[in-house]
């Protein structure tokens, strides 16, 4: 099982680490973390990520291509022709093409979601339409050989769902228990439907600049296509 995961400056670590922690128990898995160079990459936290492979050395025909998300980092990623060429190339040959959070927009910009159901962070879900995808408001979505998780923490759910689909529910259940994944948040505030109106507005306000910039960028990309 060859898993190639893309990383880029400004990526959100939990988008990446959530699924990889789940997949660490995947029988026979070989995981490659691919970037333009092998230099350590800054994330949107104080954490850095050290790639294991470059665009050139990453597996040419992965069983799973995985793209995590971010905010400003994602904006740069979908404007990076070299990065999109890598995603398009590997995605065209991968058994599964997958993402978490705004990683779905990178897949969309690479032309890999047209005609597929997908999901992403709730703030930018409708942006998927610009790339010919069908947005689904869900924690995770699997449509044929495309799989996507919602925002950030949904990567764990997505990782377990994909594992169950490929190697069976029994192994995925065992993995869930092994990592003691039993969410019990202190507040019912993890979705826009659950959150208080003032909380929703505070989050929208905090990310208004990012959402506006993303909307302008995807409009341009959609016009170019």
Catalytic residue among 101, 136, 141, 160: 101
- Strand 140-143 vs strand 146-149: parallel, antiparallel, or unpaired? antiparallel
Instruction: Residue 41: name the closest of 66, 75, 6 by CA.
Output: 6
Concerning whether 101 is annotated as a catalytic residue, the answer is yes
For the annotated catalytic residues, the residue numbers are: 101
């Amino acid at each position: 099982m060859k898993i190639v995961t893309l990383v880029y400056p400004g990526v959100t670590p939990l988008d990446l680490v959530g699924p990889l922690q789940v997949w660490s128990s995947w029988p026979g898995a070989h995981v490659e973390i691919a970037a333009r160079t092998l230099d350590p990459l800054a994330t949107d936290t104080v954490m850095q990520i050290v790639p294991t492979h470059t665009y050139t050395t990453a597996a040419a025909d992965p069983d799973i291509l995985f793209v995590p998300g971010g905010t400003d980092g994602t904006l740069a990623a979908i404007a990076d022709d070299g990065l999109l060429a890598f995603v398009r190339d590997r995605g065209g040959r991968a058994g599964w093409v997958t993402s978490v959070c705004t990683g779905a927009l990178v897949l969309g910009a690479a032309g890999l979601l047209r005609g597929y159901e997908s999901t992403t962070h709730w703030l930018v879900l409708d942006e998927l339409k610009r790339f010919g995808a069908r947005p689904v408001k869900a924690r995770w979505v699997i449509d044929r050989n495309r799989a996507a998780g919602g925002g950030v923490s949904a990567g764990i759910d997505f990782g377990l769902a994909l594992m169950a689909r490929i190697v069976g529910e029994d192994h995925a259940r065992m993995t869930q228990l092994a990592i003691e994944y039993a969410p019990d948040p202190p507040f019912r505030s993890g979705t826009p439907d659950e959150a208080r109106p003032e909380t929703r507005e505070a989050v929208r306000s905090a990310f208004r600049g990012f959402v506006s910039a993303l909307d302008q960028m995807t409009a341009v990309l959609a016009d170019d296509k």
